[in-house]
A = this chain, B = another copy of it.
Amino acid sequence: MILCRTIAELKNELYSIKHSNDQATIGLVPTMGFLHEGHASLMRQSVAENIASVLSIFVNPMQFGPNEDFERYPRDEARDLAIAKENGIDIVFMPEVKEMYPSKPRTSVMISQLTERLCGASRPGHFDGVGLVVSKLFHLVQPDRAYFGMKDAQQLAVIQQMTDDLNIPVEIVPCPIVREPDGLALSSRNVYLSAEQRQQAVVLSQSLALAKQMVEEKGITPEELIARVKAKISEAGQAEIDYVEWLTYPSLELPAWNEPIADHSEKYILALAVKFGSTRLIDNALFVPNTRGE
């Protein structure tokens, strides 16, 4: 496994790979590091599907708001490199901020509509920063495929839209959410939780399970569903709800609010963001209402 800290090193390594095998396909797993089993599942899928796999580790300041956790975002370089190696990664690209942003960028990549709700509403500018850095990584690595976790479902929809709109020649591969045995979705931010908050945080996946059950009962409306999910989350004493939303996916539009969730083929997402103290967790589930929830 090769570690590249500069763009020049990365380009050299990619050049070697492509020129030793002109059929070489490249997979990219873009991350902010502090890797967990969710990231590892993306790496393994990339390794299985491509000749060479690049893991990028970059805590991107442009996607953090002024009062967010950029400075304290957890980092553990040695552990990350060990996990990357274990999972078969060929190149780790781990640049400093000044390597990615030698000067303040004047170019913004903004994706409208899809970013108006959910985390886009709670974190203004967040997805502009995501669009910018993902677009940079796509141009630097020029991968055939890029792997993203469904936990960040809105991010995935935004990146797919950007890729389509700009004709970026990369296949976006969505990968399933990986969970702890008790159901908590893996997240680098889980380390922030106190023991009690960690216990209470299971309410996110429990409320999604409850929602699946309720959607199978015909007749429930989005309004009722959301009220019941909110009530369930509020059973956790420290939970402070940021949002609970039921939207079409991946278009992220509001469906009719007071009509029963009927039998139809459109895909929906139930997406949650809940704070425990200063730690904000997200989770979601996809539903095709005429089948069982996915």
A residues bordering B, Cβ < 8 Å? 7, 19, 22, 105-114, 131-132, 135-136, 139-140, 142, 161-162, 165-169
Question: With A22-B22, A132-B165 given, can you name 18 additional A-B contacts, CB distance below 8 Å?
Answer: A7-B167, A106-B165, A107-B109, A107-B131, A107-B161, A107-B165, A107-B166, A108-B112, A110-B110, A132-B166, A136-B165, A136-B166, A136-B167, A139-B166, A139-B167, A139-B168, A139-B169, A142-B169
**Complex: how many Å from CA A228 to CA B106?**
33
**Complex: how many Å from CA A142 to CA B168?**
10
Q: What's the number of copies of this chain in the assembled complex?
A: 2
**Complex: how many Å from CA A139 to CA B162?**
12
**Complex: how many Å from CA A41 to CA B7?**
34
Residues of B within 8 A of A109 (CB): 107-109, 166
Residue contacts A-B, CB under 8 angstroms, 6 given: A22-B22, A107-B166, A108-B109, A108-B111, A136-B165, A139-B166
Taking a contact as CB atoms under 8 Å apart, the answer to whether B113 and A110 are in contact is no
Closest 9 CB pairs of A and B: A107-B165, A105-B165, A139-B167, A136-B167, A108-B110, A106-B112, A107-B162, A139-B168, A140-B167
**Complex: how many Å from CA A161 to CA B107?**
7
**Complex: how many Å from CA A142 to CA B109?**
19
